Structure 1
């Protein structure tokens, strides 16, 4: 599945509530760095970023979650770190971002060190609304300017080790095709269904959503089936084509307004009576959000001033943190249209 970014890539969530959890998170990151073939220098940078993110959670919130994952954007691979807590936020972000580098050149601490060491770094921490930190470290430092228009998170039901949801992004000649799949039920069998949908769309980004839905319907027949949403975005033409089956939430957020996209009833792989492809304007600066039904539908970005301008992965993480139902697999995929509104 070359040039495909998806939740099937290696990733690990770490619950951070004790000092030892920072070590566990660091070891998880080092394992991913070794798997990716990251240099010792960049693996060391990653270790500091993860340690600082976990320490920030413990120091300011007491507990939280940290996600370390492999991602791919524009054919370039990277490791991404997302730290989420529901603590007090950061009252003076500018002061908190000051780097602690000494005159001797020793490593700094806190957010400043993370920003200095990461190729891309972002934070959202309004007072009273928790802190979300995001850092990206490319496998190849020369790829640091590579744009990343998408970001996603996928969290299994607390009692499960495998997530029954899956998301994917596949590029094709100026288009990005977004997929969100929610396998029926939970656990390994639901995960198999969602993974089958991801494999079905890999390499087929040039097909319209209705055709891709047909491909997925055939691919998922041996599985228990899934709810699916597929959006194909023409970046230059600023148009989005959409098809959905089942209860996947899909929205376009532009000019401060949220437009929810309609899906039809059914289970892909078993019972699909109607697939309807619809087209929508998707202007510069717009956000496209796909969410499984483990996320409540009542979220409103207007309640998060400034969040819409943050990294897509950070937006996805905040929505997951604050709007997960807690009794289902939960996933969010966000795409930011190039340009400003």
Structure 2
């Protein structure tokens, strides 16, 4: 069975406070689109989407952020745009989505048009709790047909650092998926090198054998990280057909499964992968295809609850990742959060 590999890639965060920063976000998005093979029509649509989303932040909820992430599904390339703010939110989202409704002072295309210009669109907003808007535009203008999993991810370095010491990687097929999240010790270039070695080791192991138990994958990563700074590592394997999740972790990666109001934490053991592993075990959990898997590094505070955001669990995982990043970023370390569910 053919597996698709995806991994953390260069993600850009742009602070939006004033109109000059709207223009900077538009230029950054178009530059990324050109590198990914967007034609002139698609670049124009991308520019309009980013401009409108950023302008809405300036006019109603500054400061906010625009996050840009390259997407790849097989041979198809795309860009994810997340617009985050903690402003007044929207009191009547259904009205804002109607044609003819546009944000005051914006370019006038409104949310309804943004939805039509994007191949993927989702929004979460509550009065006085801000908004998170997610859009994905694909270079060929079509949603990938081979997408079996919805994945949301934010992976960014500590402010002032160029290299991110956190990383993630996923190997997925129609019925199963393996995910790894790594937090290299400390931050900066050495931490980034350790996490990159972990990603390479994870992918190499799964290229040899599409299924490998999570504790075996970590054991292999441990050998490959000898001589590096080391890392905290969590690995999960999910099989939709057998409805089973297997997990193993070392260090301070927080991971859990969420299904409605039920939350099940997955236990990691103390140690440093690449240096000092005291114990490696595998835990197993029944997997429901409506569930969410959430894993994040300690750059995200663990004191969060999806229940505080009514309806959020029904949103795209990218929206949920945006909420955790916006509201629970500790701002003292690199940050990585990866969330996934079965695509419907």
* SS of residue matched to 1:150: strand
Find the aligned partners of 1:28 and 1:231 in 2 and give their Cα distance.
34
294, 297, 309: which is aligned to 1:304? 309
Q: For residue 334 of structure 2, what is the aligned residue in structure 1?
A: 329
SS at match of 1:202: helix
How many residue pairs get matched? 333
**How far off is 1:75 after superposition?**
5.8
Range moving further from structure 2, 141-150 or 278-287: 141-150
Instruction: State the Cα deviation string for residues 232-271 of structure 1 (Å, max 9, x = none).
Output: 1112222111010000000000131111000001111111
Tell me the CA shift for residue 108 of structure 1: 5.0
Q: Distance in 1 between matches of 2:10 and 2:30?
A: 12
**Contact 1:29–1:47, Cα closer than 8 Å, also in 2:** yes
* Counterpart secondary structure, 1:179: strand
Matched, 1:292 2:297: yes
Residues 77 and 65 (structure 1), Cα distance of their counterparts in 2 relative to 1, 3 Å cut: same
TM-score under structure 2 normalisation? 0.92
What does residue 138 of structure 1 align with? 138
Equivalent positions of 1:58-73 (< 5 A) are 58-73=58-73
Query: Are the aligned partners of 1:46 and 1:137 in contact in 2 as well (CA < 8 Å)?
Result: yes
Distance of aligned partners of 1:187 and 1:175 in 2 relative to their CA distance in 1, 3 Å threshold:
same
Q: What's the CA shift string for 1:302-337, capped at 9, x where partnerless? A: 101110010111111111111111111111100113
Alignment deviations for residues 176-227 of structure 1 (CA, whole Å, 9 cap, x no partner): 1111111100111111111111111125152221121122112212320110
User: Pairwise mapping of residues 70-149 of structure 1 onto structure 2 (< 5 A)?
Assistant: 70-73=70-73, 76-100=76-100, 109-147=109-147, 148-149=149-150
Structure 2: where are the runs of 5+ without partners?
none
1:72: how far off?
2.4
Contact 2:260 2:313 in 1 (8 A): no
**2:274 alignment partner in structure 1:** 269
**C-alpha displacement of 1:146:** 4.9
SS in 1 for 2:143: helix
Distance of aligned partners of 1:99 and 1:220 in 2 relative to their CA distance in 1, 3 Å threshold = farther
* Segments ≥4 residues shifted beyond 6 Å: none
More displaced, 273-282 or 258-267? 273-282
The 5 A counterparts of 1:14-93 are 14-73=14-73, 76-93=76-93
Q: Is the 8 A contact 1:283 1:337 kept in 2?
A: no
Gaps of 5+ in 1: none
Q: Could you say which residue in structure 2 is the equivalent of 1:153?
A: 154
TM-score (structure 1 length as normaliser):
0.92
Q: CA RMSD in A?
A: 1.9
Task: Report the more deviating stretch, 221-230 or 67-76.
Answer: 67-76
Q: How far off its partner does 1:118 sit?
A: 0.2
Compared with structure 1, are the counterparts of its residues 109 and 173 closer, same or farther at alpha carbon in structure 2 (3 Å cutoff)?
closer
Deviation at 1:5, TM superposition (A): 1.8
Cα distance between partner residues in 2 of 1:134 and 1:337: 18
